[in-house]
Every structure is written in C-alpha cells, then in structure tokens.
Amino acid sequence: MSEELRLVGMCGPAKYFKAATVFAGKYPADGSTFLVSGIGTENQQVYTVCLIDSGAPCEPGHVWLKDWGANEGVPEALVEAEIVELTGAHWPTGFVEAKEARLLK
C-alpha cells in the first residue's frame, strides 16, 4: 500500500466495529484507490480489494469494496457516512463478490 494517505472521513457502525477514521491511498500495483482505517494499530483494516489480476475494470475515483469477514457491513457504513456511493456492479473474488463504489470524498 501507498505511504501517502488522505483523510476521507468517519464511518460506522458496521458489524465488527462501532466507528472508524477512514483514509484513502493508492495501490502500487495499478494506482487504484484503497480505503483503510486503524493505521499502524492492531486494528488496521483495509476495506477495498485490488482486482487488477482478475481483469476487473476500475475507473478513476472508484473502488472495489469487501463485504465479507471483518468487512461485513462496511460498504453500507461507508455509504451512510457519504464517503462512497455503490454503483450496483459486483465482481467475483472466489467464493464472494466485491462491490464497486464511487468515491464521494
């Protein structure tokens, strides 16, 4: 992950957390955006997935969100916080699907 991060807002609650400070950065592999919280702590959590190797399109200003495991409910929490808007697109990632979202901040 990139070392340059920018604050995009607060979100929560989701299934496994009450509130989180969300930062955005760029994946080195393709320059697409990632969203993360808990930087430098044992609670660090990445909310996005880089799908460059699977051929998923990722327009500038869009992200692929995880909605499984520890990230269950995160896409909805990010929408509620007005950080992202879900596009309705999904991409298979094995047994689960990532959700595409447009960044609002």
* pLDDT tens per residue, range 38-60: 888 888 899 999 998 888 888 89
Over residues 98-104, mean pLDDT: 97
Indicate the domain borders of the chain. 6-103
CB burial string 31-46: b at 16+ within 10 A, e below: ebbbbbbeeeeeeebb
Give tens-digit pLDDT for 6-34: 999 999 999 999 999 999 999 888 888 99
Quickly count helices (H) and strands (E) in the chain.
1, 7
Query: Closest by alpha carbon to 85, among 67, 103, 58?
Result: 103
Residue with the larger pLDDT of the pair 82 and 41: 82
Quote the pTM value.
0.91
